[in-house]
Structure 1
């Protein structure tokens, strides 16, 4: 490193790091008063996870925030966690863990640079712009050294940006590709304009689904900021618990997390709730970034045809168009999103494994996986709902 006085520090709580110092690395673009590109790496979001007990002792996510200082000043940081399982990550390495342990190794604990329970792409090496290369190198080298010194099996950096993936590869980390479905705003000025870009059959199907969903016998409310009241969070907590119990066994987030979000981030949140016969029956929670709407959680206490599609996908598109956002990220997995205008995109992660033989095996696996995902995206894109443009050859 050119700046040889960079020092690495590990801190167990964000309360020991001033919010202004952290956010100067995490979201320097927000210094103009606008929204951060990624709301999930901000001090207030990560603090909400920590203070609410959603991460910490007994959760499988033990904070070990990684800091890089130059002459005492914080120039880079990473949301680093000591993981005792692979829950809440959405980049699946369970087969790696089984293979490692079947060979007599100890896969857990491992280190993870990530936003817990949040499969949304964003910067993971949080660096002040003027120290970009030095800060990235310090964080990567510091995290790898921390894993090696403590004889941990591995280090993982999940849902990083493509630029970070390229930089990590240059520093010796293994790159992995995964797949999500995002809606891309191509300058649409209305939902009808978006529909006009689809094939006739898909367009008719979406209109039918929206009509069916909005005929569920109640009304749909879109709430943000001071419009959100405690009763709305009470309702959403019931939805979230139901979804969490079915998907994960136990919900990842605690009830207090949502109270803290209401206090510190309500202007960054959009709640879409369906109300019928005087009670809320379904809802979707979204976070708003500078360029994207991030759909995070959905749940219901009554089943109504197509209501899930309306609250999670179509209303999100409405909001993105109205706010001039560039895309909607609707979370992990879900090929059913394809027919709703959400196209497959590549997501990235980086990995380091201490055992050389196991690292070689994983590298071979990642090459094959990457080729399969590229083929899958090509096929899925071809089956997308958008009109096909046919170019006639002229003699």
Structure 2
């Protein structure tokens, strides 16, 4: 089918086709768009594992995203004369869970005013607060034309599904600028990333920190392993079913205690372990021959992306060791430019992570709700930018390394 039909204006010959699953498009075609120079020109990463066909299709085939979970796949594909021009990972949502860019207040206000906020269209990677391309452009295509066609397709799909809005989250800044020019409301938020300044090793990194912070991190690393705990880095063929079973147990237990029901199931981890093992790093902690904690990371060409953590035993500073310090060790050894350690967490500042802006764009059909959200976002942007500037002065780096000296 060709719903929602042809795009308007100069691109009238382009056809927009909704895909109700990644199985409807060959993996090679999707990945060619996800890794094309046209798509990646907005950032420095040359392989974002989260927008790969392997990762997104594993979410679908495992049932983590489905109508039942409130994440109905409805990806947008733009074609011209049978040739794929671009795609966008899109989901029809019946709630606002698992997104990490919060619009619950908008939904509540609209519902109280008599509107229906759900369903909405979410252009994102489910359960993944990682910046990456959202308008995936086929090699050789005109970027502006293809992005405009994808936006036109999303708006037509919004009308057909009677969705209230379109939300493009954790997008590249270039895409954010494009979306703003096409009438989307622009939003910013922040995360904390660690940048590799060409360090030869972890001690070299520590040398860039103020004395007190350097001593604190050394003490944390020592205390984390004080009870006979050892650390393993597992990737590729090391990812056995036994290892996955242990990690999944930690993930489920920790997730249940934090937010009730974890988003990801065991089948999902099995699928990505089969399909992209070289892109996965499990950092596992072991004591007395048994795994007691672990964290999963995905490996890009440029960055290491920390995602989920869990533990069966509580030990001082073990979370920091497994999730942050071991990630830095790995990134230095691999020559990666940075570590992205997920959403939120000002405690990361003291461990050498710095505030970085995140970008999202929102297109709301109802004029009244759009005006209210636009006013809110203008105030929120000012607050986020001021907070980021203030937090950047609190990093532990010595004067001359981009921040203030901290003395003992």
The ranges of structure 1 where at least 4 consecutive aligned residues each deviate by more than 6 angstroms after the TM superposition are none
Structure 1 runs not aligned, ≥5 long: 30-34
Q: Given the alignment, which residue of 338, 343, 353 partners 1:332?
A: 343
Among 185, 189, 195, which residue is 2:196 paired with? 185
How is 1:1-395 mapped onto 2 (pairs within 5 angstroms)?
2-28=10-36, 36-131=46-141, 132-389=143-400
Give SS of 1:257's match: helix
Structure 1 residue matching 2:100: 3-state secondary structure? coil
Q: CA deviation at 1:39?
A: 0.4
* TM-score, normalising length: structure 2: 0.92
Residue 100 of structure 1: how far off its partner (Å): 0.6
Flag the 1:265–1:357 CA change in 2: closer, same or farther, 3 A. Answer: same
Provide TM-score, normalisation by structure 1. 0.95
Deviation digits for residues 141-199 of structure 1 (CA, Å, limit 9, x no counterpart): 11012112332211100000000000000000011001100001111111111111111
Residue 2 of structure 1 contacts residue 134 of structure 1 at CA under 8 Å; is this kept in 2?
Answer: no
The number of residue pairs the alignment matches comes to 387
- Shifted more, 212-221 versus 316-325: the winner is 212-221
- What stretches of structure 2 of length at least 5 have no aligned partner? 1-8, 38-44, 403-408
Contact 2:11-2:149 at 8 Å conserved across structures:
no
Superposition deviation, residue 75 in structure 1:
1.5
**Structure 1 pair 390–277 and aligned structure 2 pair: CA distance change class (3 A):** closer
Residue in 2 that maps onto 1:32: none
- Shift of residue 246, structure 1, vs aligned partner: 2.0
What is the alpha-carbon distance in structure 2 between the residues aligned to residue 389 and residue 294 of structure 1? 28
Q: 3-state DSSP class of the match of 1:121? A: coil
CA RMSD of the aligned region, Å? 1.6
* Equivalent pair of 1:285/1:297 in contact (CA under 8 Å): yes
Q: Deviations over 1:354-387 (max 9, x none)?
A: 1111101111110100000011011111011111
Please give the alpha-carbon distance, in whole angstroms, between the structure 2 residues aligned to 1:101 and 1:247: 27
Structure 2 SS opposite 1:85: coil
